[in-house]
Amino acid sequence: MKQECFDAILIVSSDLIAYYTGIFNFSPIERDACMFITLQNAYIFTDSRFLGISYPKEFNLIETSARSGAYSAINTIVDAEKIQKIGYEESELTVKEYKLLKKVVRQKAKIADCTSLLSFLRVKKTPKEINKIKKACKITDSAFSFILDKIYLGVTETQLAQEIDNFFKEKGATPAFQSIVAFGKNASIPHHHPSNKKLTLKDTYILLDIGARYDNYCSDLSRTIFFGSVTDEIRNQYGAVKLAQEKALCALKLKKRTAQSVDSRARTYLKQKGYTIPHAVGHGLGIHVHEAPTISPANHTVLEENMIVTIEPGVYIPKGGIRIEDTVQITETGYKLLTHSTKEIIVIRN
């Protein structure tokens, strides 16, 4: 905060509150709580429903009676601690909350976005965090093996997605996001929502994008398998995506490795093959399934040891889509795969 010239930071997202306090009780939708960190003190504002929780001793717990009640308390703190510049989460603060913040500080303090600072602080994972992600990845790999035996002619996307979610729960985890199961043409939609579509003989492509959340930490895995028979054209498509991922992973071994350079390795190769990738080649993950750093053409962030990212090139055509995604731990000289499901072509015939 001193380096970035902030006297205080307002944190409203439940993810960041959980990250700094270890308390995951707050809703990601409702403003059950918010944090206000100054150079002298740490405050957490919440209502009477959450006063019985054991908070870290570093925090001053302040009860607020309404969703906007924290802003009156912030006004008092700004005066008492002579705060002149407040950081806020631009991507999380609503317009209403932004106006409230401006109103309570008036001309006493400036406000400015500090999203990049907050992202930077949590981008490198601790050994404890990495162990939780590894466990989530192990459960996810098991779920992929499990679901292969549940695929048959006539099963629906929704049925398979529910089977995966139930498997996670049986293993002491929850879904990190809505499990994606996409048959045939639906696989051409990168973030397809499972439907009641039944698997038919015409649905060659089956795209699975799944991830477990274990002890509040996420994993992410995508595999494309095939139903019935596979043409040479499809084998070539699959081989191109697989090699594109290998090229991106190899870029993690370079001395000068940036998010942009890793993305470029996969994107350039697939472009040479006549394909385009309509999304980033990867993303960070931790307590949220999408965190910094984004592995994209516009991000020049240097990738450092103990960052956790996904590498997920894909190609999408009208007939279907192929994506191969793994969760990866960046090491000092390269990387470690944290998901280990096979990437050989799987064809289900029944």
- Residue 66, pLDDT > 80, answer no
Residues 113, 144 share a domain:
no
Residues 37, 15 share a domain:
yes
Burial class (CB in 10 A: 0-12, 13-18, 19+), 147: buried
Residues 257, 180 share a domain:
yes
What tens digit of pLDDT does each residue of 195-221 get? 999 999 999 999 999 999 999 999 999
DSSP assignment of 197-246 equals PBP-TT--EEEEEE-EEETTEE--EEEEEEES---HHHHHHHHHHHHHHH
- Residue 222, pLDDT > 90, answer yes
Which pLDDT score is estimated for 193? 96
Residue 312 Cα distances to 32, 67, 163, 192, 223, angstroms: 35, 39, 24, 16, 10
Tell me the C-alpha distance between 38 and 13, whole Å: 17
Residues 297, 212 share a domain:
yes
How many domains does the chain divide into? Answer: 2
Bridge-based pairing of strands 42-46 and 59-63 is parallel
- Residue 107, pLDDT > 90, answer no
What tens digit of pLDDT does each residue of 294-339 get? 999 999 999 999 999 999 999 999 999 999 999 999 999 999 999 9
Tell me the C-alpha distance between 317 and 68, whole Å: 48
- Are 340 and 221 in contact, with CB atoms under 8 Å apart? no
Tell me the C-alpha distance between 31 and 16, whole Å: 13
Final residue belonging to a domain, choices 105, 122, 139: 122
Query: C-alpha angle 47/52/57, rounded to 5°?
Result: 95
Q: How many helices, marked H, and strands, marked E, lie in the chain?
A: 8, 20
Decide if 335 is inside a domain.
Answer: yes
Which neighbouring-strand residues pair with 44?
A: 35, 61
Decide if 277 is inside a domain.
Answer: yes
- Residue 69, pLDDT > 80, answer no
Residues 22, 116 share a domain:
yes
Residues 70, 202 share a domain:
no
HSE-CB for 110 with a 13 A CA cutoff: 7
Chain-wide mean pLDDT for the chain?
94
Which pLDDT score is estimated for 118? 87
Residues 176, 114 share a domain:
no
Residues 211, 66 share a domain:
no
Residues 164, 109 share a domain:
no
pLDDT mean over 165-175: 97
Identify the band that residue 247 occupies on the pLDDT scale cut at 50, 70 and 90.
Answer: very high
Decide if 3 is inside a domain.
Answer: no
Which pLDDT score is estimated for 106? 83
Tell me the C-alpha distance between 29 and 281, whole Å: 28
Which pLDDT score is estimated for 254? 92
Which pLDDT score is estimated for 50? 87
Which pLDDT score is estimated for 31? 83
What tens digit of pLDDT does each residue of 2-50 get? 988 999 999 998 888 988 888 888 887 788 899 999 999 999 999 888 8
Residue 230 Cα distances to 201, 224, 343, angstroms: 12, 12, 15
Tell me the C-alpha distance between 225 and 323, whole Å: 10
- Residue 68, pLDDT > 80, answer no
Give this prediction's pTM: 0.90
- Residue 65, pLDDT > 80, answer no
The backbone torsions φ and ψ at residue 44, rounded to the nearest 5 degrees and listed phi first, read: -130, 130
Decide if 165 is inside a domain.
Answer: yes
Which pLDDT score is estimated for 67? 61
Final residue belonging to a domain, choices 98, 122, 146: 122
Here the CATH number for the domain that contains residue 163 is: 3.90.230.10
Percent of the chain with pLDDT over 70: 99
Q: At what angle do helices 95-105 and 69-80 cross, to 10 degrees?
A: 30
Domain span at 46:
8-122
pLDDT mean over 270-299: 95
Final residue belonging to a domain, choices 97, 122, 147: 122
Which pLDDT score is estimated for 167? 98
Residues 232, 193 share a domain:
yes
Residues 136, 71 share a domain:
no
Find tokens 């907050």 and name the residue: 118
